[in-house]
Amino acid sequence: MPSFDIASEVDIQTLDNAINTVRKEISTRFDFRDSPVTVDLNKKEYKIVLEVESDMKMKQVIDVLISRAMKQGIDAGAFDFSKDAYPSGKVVKKEIGVRNGLKQDDAKKIVKLIKDGGFKVQAAIMDDIVRVTGKKIDDLQAVIAKCRSAELGIPLQFVNMKN
């Protein structure tokens, strides 16, 4: 039976490349000259730590981060900006989480979306992915189209298509 997986993953090497291009761009910008800017990536916890001297520069660094990540193929929805920036001495720090894997709530939303669509497929939650199986590939492609058009607020990848 044909099947595929719905996942929400960020390749750590692609993210690292995006962070390196952000560092390079900020080091060459005139408005960041002689100001302390630190952009660090914690690869184990999937967190980005930003340190700048003001809130205005924090917004500029975040804009650069989003634009460079999108050029590398990382969806802007993969970043979790829910934590507020906090002052730490002379600098302002912000931790940005990178969503990797589907949370249980998001997986349940996807399964509900598929079931409510009336497709002749089965959807099962397996750890941090949703596996969709059906008798026809056309049904699976309809599910992919439905998931792409739905506004779930998370970036989705459709991987591991098997016939």
**pLDDT value at 77 more than 90:** no
C-alpha 59/C-alpha 152 separation (Å) is 25
**Whether the predicted pLDDT of 88 surpasses 90:** no
**Which residue segments constitute the domains of the chain, with CATH numbers given?**
3-8+101-162 (3.30.70.860), 12-98 (3.30.70.990)
> pLDDT tens-digit profile of 15-46?
999 999 999 999 998 988 888 899 999 999 99
Mean pLDDT of all residues in 101-129: 90
Residue type, 129: I
pLDDT at 87 over 90: no
Is it the case that residue 130 has pLDDT exceeding 90?
yes
Is the pLDDT score of 93 beyond 90?
yes
Report the C-alpha gap between 37 and 68 in whole angstroms: 17
Percentage of the chain surpassing pLDDT 90? 62
Evaluate if residue 160 carries a pLDDT over 90: no
pLDDT at 18: 94
Share of the chain above pLDDT 70, in %: 100
